[in-house]
Amino acid sequence: AQRVTQPEKLLSVFKGAPVELKCNYSYSGSPELFWYVQYSRQRLQLLLRHISRESIKGFTADLNKGETSFHLKKPFAQEEDSAMYYCALRKTMGAGNMLTFGGGTRLMVKP
Amino acid sequence: EPEVTQTPSHQVTQMGQEVILRCVPISNHLYFYWYRQILGQKVEFLVSFYNNEISEKSEIFDDQFSVERPDGSNFTLKIRSTKLEDSAMYFCASSEALWAGEAFFGQGTRLTVV
């Protein structure tokens, strides 16, 4: 069965510092990976997905199949980046298209 | 921008009672989902629904749970006889396409079973 691990429950950085939120996965096939973000009192929303290879709000994430990782990075954190971040995997083999989530990392950006 | 809407935002119920959580997915979406998040734990998949039937369900989704699309707009999750361990945040989501579509989430219903 697929699994997503986010090893850090909390990551605290100062404004302007680089940020890396770690995500590792296990899946026997070739996965589809996503980062979702939940700002305070708001709903889960898609931040980015690996297939689109885009940068959203300055964040990027590269799928590393060798290391089975999909870390989220931003070179200069902003206070408005403070939120809960979830890495998620969607199977590409077999039935079903549900998302498997990691446990989430709370990012706090201090002024 | 269209949104997935869930009601109520918070529901308190006594153990053993039935609850129905309601969701209005985005209107042109075809795939509907329920997830839950017990406090301090991961967001977990419960069930997906397409073409008026369940397409996939997790081990959590036992006989106490059921889903329905009673009309063209609502998507409901029923818990027949609630247990204390059903206390969680329940998220509804919908997507337009099966493999390429982004899942849009509702704001959640916090269910507290006492």
Average pLDDT over chain A reads 92
pLDDT class for A28, splitting at 50, 70, 90?
A: confident
Measured in angstroms, the CA of A43 and the nearest CA of chain B are apart by 5
Nearest to A43 among B42, B48, B106 (CB): B106
Give the number of other CB atoms < 10 A from CB of residue B38.
Answer: 13
Sheet holding B5-7, edge to edge: B5-7, B19-24, B75-79, B65-68
- Tens-place pLDDT, residues B55-104: 899 999 999 999 999 887 899 999 999 999 999 999 999 998 766 568 89
The tokens of B83 are what?
Answer: 């247990």
Contact B44 A102 (CB under 8 A): no
pLDDT of residue B109: 97
Contact A49 B102 (CB under 8 A): yes
Q: For testing the chain B interface, which of A2, A97, A105, A106 should be mutated: the one with the most B CBs within 10 Å?
A: A97
pLDDT of residue B88: 97
Residue of A nearest to B102 (CA): A46
| A84 reaches B (C-beta below 8 A) | no
Percent above pLDDT 90 for chain B: 79
Task: Show residues of chain B in contact with A95, CB under 8 Å.
Answer: 55-56
Sign (positive or negative) of CA dihedral B45, B2, A85, B86:
negative
Helix and strand totals (H; E) in chain A: 0, 11
Q: Which of A63-67, A102-106, B16-20 has the lowest mean pLDDT?
A: A63-67
| A46 reaches B (C-beta below 8 A) | yes
Give the number of other CB atoms < 10 A from CB of residue B70.
Answer: 10
> Average of pLDDT values for A25-46?
91
Contact B91 A103 (CB under 8 A): no
The tokens of B18 are what?
Answer: 């039935």
Measured in angstroms, the CA of A93 and the nearest CA of chain B are apart by 11
Residue of A nearest to B99 (CA): A97
Residues 6+ apart with CB under 8 A from B50: B30, B31, B32, B98
pLDDT class for B35, splitting at 50, 70, 90?
A: very high
Contact B105 A97 (CB under 8 A): no
Q: Is the pLDDT of residue A96 over 70?
A: no
pLDDT of residue B9: 96
pLDDT class for B18, splitting at 50, 70, 90?
A: very high
Nearest to A99 among B3, B41, B103 (CB): B103
3-state secondary structure of A94: coil
Q: In whole angstroms, what is the distance from residue B74 CA to residue B23 CA?
A: 6
- Tens-place pLDDT, residues A7-26: 999 999 999 999 999 999 99
pLDDT of residue B26: 94
Q: Is the pLDDT of residue A105 over 80?
A: yes
